Amino acid sequence: MQTRTVIPLVPHDHQPAPMTSHPMPANGKKFFIWTMGCQMNEADSQKVAAMLQEVGYRKAESENDADIVILNSCVVRQAAEDKVAGRLDYLARLKREKPEMPLVLTGCMVTRQQEKLKQRFPHVDLFFNPSDFDKLVAVVPELEMLEDDLASLPHYYQPQLSGNKVGVSAFVPIIYGCNFVCSYCIVPYRRGKETSRPFSDIVTEVERLVDNGVREVTLLGQTVNAYGYDLEEKSSLSRLLTAVDKIPGLERLRFLTSHPKYMGDDVIDAIADLPTACEHMNLPVQAGDNEVLQRMRRTYTRDLWMERIATTREKIAGVTVATDIIVGFPGETEEQFMQTYDMLEHTKCDKVHLAMYSPRPGTLSSRWEDDVPHEEKWRRHQELEKLQLRVCTELNAVRMGETYEVLVESKEKGRWTGRTRGNTLVHFDDDGETDVLGKMVDVRINHTSPWFLMGEAVSAPR
């Protein structure tokens, strides 16, 4: 699991046309959704926003202005859970002033055993498990008329039509939960076992997104490449990618987050062969030492991960590679840390999401001694930061003079920003005449840095 900057599909005050022809009985009411955590939560919040939009709700600027408040929580770290609890305590005052305003809690903080939560936060009207969207009917009766449509309603609120950001990218959850039990991770306890969404629901959802102007779709799951194994009619991520790729009008297809154990040749071949599948592989490894990986209960070895990366590079021309690393896991010695260092130096990833270990209550590793001192974790973190600075400087320097197709996501201070198919950030100057927001533009690179590329537009927007 990881977090990353989310391409915004932010609800806004503009009142767009609904996706279906349902009447809008809740006209005038407003919702406020507060989201923490990963893209799965972002996508679920979009789905809730889409549902409320369908029955006439509009986005409120703040909780004070809302007729319903929904908190979508994250518990991946204790600090995140504490933040949600703080927000809920703060909202108790508002709830006293507006007792008729439903207050809803969803996300990973909500488990099947909700009694404790109810005792702790008696002012919350509804707790619902992530993806149990139909439960919302209890506090939004207007949704009853949508009941048949809830499963197929896209995880999508209409794109922003004003401001300097645009919604041409959407996240689509395809599998919930996780069957692994990594010793440091709380997710399986909160999100339950892997549950794939029906194949046809996902394809229909992407078709509807594309009909509404989306050009890039990211399929999501805690273990996205485990998709389909739990379905009655067995399927797989590669089959799903193949079906989604055929949707006319879709231009870019991505998926997050993969587990090395499930990264079969079929998925790698799909990226290589399908025109919309972007040449980017995000494959979290977490550590480069086999003993540490074993204690993490990651179920693979360093060699397996390195072999999967090598095969990916062999089969997919120009592919970029990203991974996740945790430093300072309980018992991690200097030699074991150096195994991670050497692996990254050898593999040269385009992006490494680095984290320092912190125990998460309720997990197996939280029962072990957190024996790597904070200063030592920080030093290891800095060592890898420095390494990545060097690696990314080298990798990006080679991109000087190259031309990349960039999907433009935002504009700030007279400069457009977008991403290549390989997920590299690219900035280029605004000519003051052409609006390229949400468009594809070919950009020739004339400046490189470890973290982004800069260049000039060399094509008309399309």
The binder of ligand SF4 chosen from 110, 124, 178, 241 (CB under 6 A): 178
Query: According to the binding rule CB under 6 A, does residue 182 interact with ligand SF4?
Result: yes
On the question of a cis peptide bond just before residue 218, with omega within 30 degrees of 0, the verdict is no
Residues 188, 191, 196: CA angle, nearest 5 degrees: 100
3-class DSSP state for residue 168? coil
Q: In angstroms, how far is the first alpha carbon of the chain from the final one?
A: 34
Q: 213: left (phi > 0), else alpha (psi -120 to 50), else beta?
A: left
From the CB of residue 239, how many other CB atoms can be counted at a distance below 10 Å? 15
> Alpha-carbon distance 362 to 360, whole Å?
6
Calculate the CA 378 to chain-centre distance. Answer: 26
Measure the CA angle with vertex 184, ends 179 and 185; round to 5°: 45
Identify which range of 179-187, 204-212, 378-386, 414-422 contacts ligand SF4 by CB under 6 A: 179-187
Looking at the Cβ atoms of 180 and 452, the one nearer to ligand SF4 is: 180
| CB closer to ligand SF4, 1 vs 408 | 1
Task: State how far the Cα of 210 lies from the Cα of 200, in Å rounded to an integer.
Answer: 15
Q: Which is nearer to ligand SF4, 338 or 355 (CB)?
A: 355
- Specify the stretch interacting with ligand SF4 by CB under 6 A; choose among 182-190, 227-235, 244-252, 273-281: 182-190
| Total residues in contact with ligand SF4, by rule CB under 6 A | 11
Angle, in degrees to the nearest 10, between helices 265-273 and 237-245: 10
Stretch that binds ligand SF4, among 161-169, 180-188, 197-205, 300-308 (CB under 6 A): 180-188
- The answer to whether 131 contacts ligand SF4 (rule: CB under 6 A) is no
- For ligand SF4, the binding residues in 190-249 under the rule CB under 6 A are 222-223
Among 74, 146, 187, 436, binds ligand SF4 (CB under 6 A): 187
Q: Find the shortest distance in angstroms from Cβ 178 to ligand SF4.
A: 3
Does 180 contact ligand SF4 by CB under 6 A?
yes
Specify whether the backbone of 97 is left (phi greater than 0), alpha (psi in -120 to 50) or beta.
alpha
- Give the residue with the Cβ less far from ligand SF4, 1 or 33: 1
Candidates 117-125, 173-181, 264-272, 341-349; binding stretch for ligand SF4 (CB under 6 A): 173-181
Strand order in the sheet with 320-327: 280-282, 320-327, 351-356
Binding mask 70-109 for ligand SF4 (x = CB under 6 A): ----------------------------------------
Binders of ligand SF4 among residues 402 to 441 (CB under 6 A) are none
User: What distance in Å separates the CA atoms of residue 406 and residue 228, rounded to the nearest whole number?
Assistant: 32
DSSP string, 252-267: EEEEE---GGG--HHH
Q: Which residue lies nearer to ligand SF4 by CB, 143 or 187?
A: 187
Q: Could you say which of 130, 188, 221, 260 contacts ligand SF4 (CB under 6 A)?
A: 188
Query: Which three-class secondary structure state does DSSP give residue 109?
Result: coil
> Residue from 71, 75, 185, 316 that binds ligand SF4 (CB under 6 A)?
185
CB of 173 vs ligand SF4, minimal distance in Å: 13
Binding positions for ligand SF4, 256-285, rule CB under 6 A: 259
Residues binding ligand SF4 (CB under 6 A): 1, 178, 180-182, 185, 187-188, 222-223, 259
